[in-house]
Chains A and B, each alone.
Chain A
Amino acid sequence: MKAEVAMLILPLVFVAVIFQFTPLITRRGIFFSATVDPEFPHSADGRRVLRSYRWQAALWAILAIGLQLVLSPRHPLTAILPMLLMIAGSALSYWLKFREVHTHYGQRRPEIRQAELSVPPARERFNAWLWIPPFAALALTAAYLQLHWNQLPERFPVHWGADGQPNRWSSREPLTVFAPVVIGAGMNLVMLGLAWLFSQLSRNTIMRRITVRLLEVLLYPLTLTFIIVALLPLGLVVPVWLIPAIILTCVAGLIFWSYRQIVAPAIADAVPEPQSDSYWKAGMFYYNPNDPAIFVAKRVGIGYTVNFANKMCWLVLAGILLLGLLPAALGVLAAKK
């Protein structure tokens, strides 16, 4: 198998594994986004539903990998079509399981809402000792590049193919030399900005604490990646698998840590999220016109989703998309120079 095809199949396998475990990353009393008896997932019916979903998700993964092998690596849709097929198929399977669990085994809990009367309201504390070092490391990298400016080659690679060979080059200019550092700082700011938004615009739940901490810790593999890329023109040699390995290891570790926090039975939210399953369309999309919250803790998986009934959510989504695209646009700009 060509290295190019292998590099396209690897993300499919990674996402397929995530889909296999996604239903397990949930609070006690929630199964496939439906409210159930906390012991139901361990019952015979619970295990049967999970097994059935897993087989379906595995089938979608096999179909996606098959499509990947059939499509030419040069085909413009090769990079996204198989992934889209797997995500859409697995989401469909998930929705069907949500309906089954909600209809046959669902429970209804009273919609008791609770507000903290403390002022100022409890917010997540941002640990400066956690988020300042990545920015400091990027600043030091920039200073190091500046000090060794004369050692930088006139032309250096800025993009590599799946086979690890450079396929795009750039000349020695400030925009291109410092681009990885600037993009890294931008990405870090986006992560911190998201963490700040969640801390301000969401309820005080265990998910908020996990998500904010997770975003802070994710700054480290991100920063390390951009530092390695920034130092490559100076002759730094790293194996092609190193950066994906760092990111995957960190993500896997963080998912495991978050999972342990979420499933812990003793943890109660200071301000619980709304309880009714009726707010969760297809088990995945939160839609509650009476709820002024923009961000709502996901029922399954880690992190937040938006309240699609709140018009402000579209503004927030557009802002996040723009912020996410900005570093990429800078990268393309720098590569063209």
Chain B
Amino acid sequence: MPEHILALRDIHKSFGETQVLKGISLNVTAGEVVSIIGASGSGKSTFLRSINGLEMPQSGFLDFEGLSFDYHPESRFFPTATQLQALRKKVGMVFQSYNLWPHMTVLQNVIHAPIKLLKLPRAQAIEEAEALLSRIGLYEKRHSYPARLSGGQQQRVAIARALAMKPSLMLFDEVTSALDPELVHEVLVLMASLAREGMTMLVVTHEIAFARDVSSRVLFFDKGVIAEDGPPEILRNPQSDRLRQFLHRILHDEVAGVGAGYGGTQQ
């Protein structure tokens, strides 16, 4: 029996009258790389954001590394502020718009959380951050401010900032959608290398090539439910009409060869 690092059960979320998540359940095993695809408005981003409580579900259950939440407002297992912070320290998140802090240098962005939240000694935090920045090829930029970096570089720093907390799960929310096409590749390559190293990842993406070549599992979201859940092969052999239609629309636009080969699948 593989060990589930994250278990979600029956997650519901509405914005006013609009039901966005209609009872999502998902188990994630350590080392899995799960791509989440679907049309905009299908609930995939809201789902990702509900995992670390940036959106609070109205009901449902979460289990993650010894934390058990029941999102029903009256439940005594409803997460406290401290429990929510404990969850977030172990779950890294990267956003579409990078969200680096413009008043801090690249290095300061990366060491801020480890120093304040993990209570790392400053020297050690800097050492680890510099190792991370070398790894993503931005060591030379460590004293630059984010505004001096390209979008792709900023996004790689944002990934390093999340990794500095040594998370056991990483959430990627359409992290290449705001990038110029020529900068998408460097970010996807970094994500692929993380995947190869065994990082557990949930990736909301429009990059079908990434979902196909890098992830070990693909979820297709449709109208607030998981309409398909399977290995990347479902992208070649969709079981449902909805996924077939979705892929047709997406791949229709995709020029042959673009995005191919981000380094093979794991497992």
A-B interaction? no
